[in-house]
């Protein structure tokens, strides 16, 4: 290996995410190149199967949420072991970090520490090779697929995925005003990504006006920049969105469709789905499935994420039998970007799509493996941001590189989200050139 490909230095620091919570930033340099920076995102509605986000627990700093221990793990454990490593050997580097951590969920060193190093390594490799990040990531993806013996049909050429954009938030993202966590739109009929983005902004604005006119002034804004009106039920959110699409001069169902993130894990308690924000009701998995199916009948809903809880595998089978040939049924908490859980879902007929979040598993290599596992089962892939995000736009390149079906970034009014939407505009230009 020539010396310009060797990792020269790895440094870490504590920075803040979009919710004002600390997270890990890493700068990694190789050869005589400039250091490349990556930052770990962080979720609020986390699944139980997710890799561990290491926090200090010291109440004197950031209410216990500091990540100084994770930062130290980068400086004291990971950096000394990885300096001198081939920056292009992403799989080797990720495997070495997993070995150094030696726990099933990265709880010793922290998935936040490990992920930031993993992503910074990929950026540094792309930079030293003078390649756009998405192209380099695609190359890694292809290599990994071949090594796993995956058939060519799981590999598509890089393309801009369909945005899935948050308009209204409830659940843990907006003070519990609605039971379902997110109401989103997808510009399915748009002739290009740029046109789709303009449609989304137009619908977002029309929706704001409609909510104002209906007396939901001073509406709270959710973690990801969606509106957070206190509506009486989920159906009202869907009605407002359909009216906003029409007010934007677009056709609901052909130009613009709706996606839901029910995030049902968070209102599932001792075997029952407890809807508390919108009338107090207790539902079985079957009953919630029936309610979702009515929403699919009445509204242009094309995707339902976490329609049921993360451990309700039997319920998921019923949901998938009922709606699997009509909409994307997306496993977020259900799969937690873990190959073993995705494979179980495929074997047992649960869901037909996987949400892919880098920090749920904690390395780039394992994230690509999760995408491959989903693809092998014919599942759609939706690459997703977290509610706690930063200016790091890695996600956009990852979604393009893996030819994801969709990308879920949040709303279009906050800079940590726009970093990704805007990066996609630039990539689109490169892909067209």
- Active-site positions read 224, 357
Q: Does 122 bind ligand PGA (CB under 6 A)?
A: no
Rounded Cα distance, 433 and 165, in Å: 26
Q: What is the DSSP letter of 116?
A: H
- Which of 276, 334, 279 is closest to 304 using CA atoms? 334
Question: At closest approach, how far in Å is the CB of 399 from ligand PGA?
Answer: 14
Q: How far apart are CA 274 and CA 232, in angstroms?
A: 16
Query: Least Å distance between CB 153 and ligand PGA?
Result: 28
The tokens describing 258, both together, are: 């709706």
Any contact of residue 384 with ligand PGA (CB under 6 A)? Answer: yes
Nearest to 129 by CA among 40, 26, 2: 2
Name the binder of 17 from ligand PGA, Zn ion, none, CB < 5-8 A by kind: none
Beta-strand pair 257-261/301-305? parallel
Quick check: 261 binds Zn ion (CB under 5 A)? yes
- Count of CB atoms situated within 10 Å of the CB of 286: 12
With contacts defined by CB under 6 A, name the span among 42-50, 196-204, 230-238, 411-419 that binds ligand PGA. Answer: 42-50
- Binding-site string for ligand PGA from residue 328 to residue 367, where x marks contact by CB under 6 A and - marks none: ----x-----------------------------------
Tell me the per-residue interface mask from 347 to 386 with Zn ion, x by CB under 5 A, - otherwise: ----------------------------------------
106, 138, 202, 386: which one contacts ligand PGA (CB under 6 A)? 386
Whichever of 47 and 132 has its CB closer to ligand PGA, that residue is 47
Applying CB under 6 A, which part among 44-52, 87-95, 186-194, 284-292 lies near ligand PGA?
A: 44-52
Q: Enumerate the H helices of 109-259 as residue ranges.
A: 111-128, 133-147, 193-213, 234-247
Q: Which is nearer to ligand PGA, 261 or 310 (CB)?
A: 261
How far apart, in whole angstroms, are the C-alpha atoms of residue 111 and residue 119? 12
Strand-strand pairing, 162-169 and 406-410: parallel
From residue 299 to residue 338, what is the string marking binding to Zn ion with x (rule CB under 5 A)? ------x--------------------------x------
For the segment 396-425, give every residue that binds ligand PGA (CB under 6 A).
Answer: none
Q: Which of 18, 23, 45, 90 binds ligand PGA (CB under 6 A)?
A: 45
Least Å from the CB of residue 295 to Zn ion: 17
Binding site partner of 384, from Zn ion, ligand PGA, none, Cβ cut-off 5-8 A by kind: ligand PGA
Q: What are the structure tokens assigned to 83, written together?
A: 């300096």
> Is the separation of the CB atoms in 355 and 330 below 8 Å?
yes
Which token pair is 135? Answer: 């192209």
Which residue, 79 or 263, has its beta carbon nearer to ligand PGA? 263
CB of 259 to ligand PGA, least distance (A): 11
CA nearest to 273, candidates 311, 328, 232:
311
Please say whether the dihedral angle defined by the alpha carbons of residues 112, 119, 328 and 408, taken in this order, is positive or negative: positive
Query: Out of 165, 169, 293, 387, which residue is the one contacting ligand PGA (CB under 6 A)?
Result: 387
The least CB distance from residue 410 to Zn ion, in Å, is 11
Is the distance from CB of 147 to CB of 361 less than 8 angstroms? no
Nearer to Zn ion, 141 or 273 (CB): 273
Q: For residue 33, give Cα distances in angstroms to 160, 181, 392.
A: 29, 43, 19
DSSP 165-201: EEEEE-GGGTTTSSSS-EEEEE-TT-SSHHHHHHHHH
Binding residue for ligand PGA, selected from 18, 23, 36, 46, defined by CB under 6 A: 46
Enumerate residues 6+ apart whose C-beta is below 8 A from 101: 107, 108, 109, 114
Q: Is position 370 an interface residue for ligand PGA (rule: CB under 6 A)?
A: no
The phi, psi pair for 224, rounded to 5°, reads: -105, 10
What residue number has its CB nearest to ligand PGA? 43
Residues that bind ligand PGA (CB under 6 A): 43-46, 181, 261, 263, 332, 384, 386-387
Interface residue list for Zn ion (CB under 5 A)? 261, 305, 332
């Amino acid at each position: 290996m020539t010396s310009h490909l060797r990792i020269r230095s790895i440094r870490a620091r504590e920075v803040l995410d979009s919710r004002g919570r600390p997270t890990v930033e890493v700068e990694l340099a190789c050869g005589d190149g400039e250091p490349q920076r990556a930052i770990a995102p962080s979720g609020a509605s986390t699944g139980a199967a997710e890799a561990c986000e290491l926090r200090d627990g010291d109440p004197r700093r950031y209410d216990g949420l500091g990540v100084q221990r994770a930062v130290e793990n980068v400086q004291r454990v990971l950096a000394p072991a990885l300096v001198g490593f081939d920056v292009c050997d992403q799989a080797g580097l990720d495997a070495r970090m997993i070995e150094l951590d030696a726990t099933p969920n990265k709880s010793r060193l922290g998935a936040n520490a490990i992920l930031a190093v993993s992503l910074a390594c990929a950026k540094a490799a792309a930079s030293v090779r003078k390649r756009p990040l998405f192209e380099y990531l695609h190359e890694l993806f292809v290599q990994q697929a071949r090594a796993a013996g995956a058939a060519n049909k799981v590999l598509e050429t890089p393309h801009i995925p369909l945005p899935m954009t948050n308009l209204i938030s409830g659940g843990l993202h907006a003070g519990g005003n609605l039971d379902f966590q997110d109401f989103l739109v997808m510009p399915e009929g748009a002739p290009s990504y740029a046109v789709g983005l303009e449609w989304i902004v137009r619908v977002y604005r029309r929706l704001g006006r409609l909510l104002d006119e209906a007396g939901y002034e001073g509406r709270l804004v959710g973690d990801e920049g969606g509106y957070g009106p206190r509506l009486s039920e989920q159906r009202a959110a869907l009605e407002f969105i359909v009216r906003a699409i029409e007010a934007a001069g677009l056709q609901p169902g052909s130009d613009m469709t709706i996606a839901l993130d029910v995030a049902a894990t968070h209102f599932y308690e001792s075997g029952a789905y407890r809807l508390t924000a919108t009338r107090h009701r207790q539902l079985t998995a079957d009953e919630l499935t029936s309610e979702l199916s009515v929403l699919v009948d009445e509204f242009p809903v094309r995707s339902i994420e976490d329609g049921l809880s993360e451990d309700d595998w039997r319920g998921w089978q019923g949901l998938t039998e009922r709606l699997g040939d009509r909409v994307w049924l997306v496993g977020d908490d259900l799969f937690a970007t873990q190959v073993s859980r995705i494979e179980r879902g495929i074997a047992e007929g649960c869901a037909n799509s996987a949400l892919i979040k880098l920090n749920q598993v904690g390395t780039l290599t394992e994230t690509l493996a999760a995408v491959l596992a989903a693809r092998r089962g014919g599942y759609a892939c939706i690459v997703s941001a977290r509610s706690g995000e930063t200016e790091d736009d890695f996600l956009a390149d990852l979604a393009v590189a893996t030819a994801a079906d969709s990308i879920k970034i949040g709303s279009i009014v906050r800079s940590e989200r726009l970093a990704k939407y805007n990066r996609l505009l630039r990539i689109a230009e490169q892909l067209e050139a």
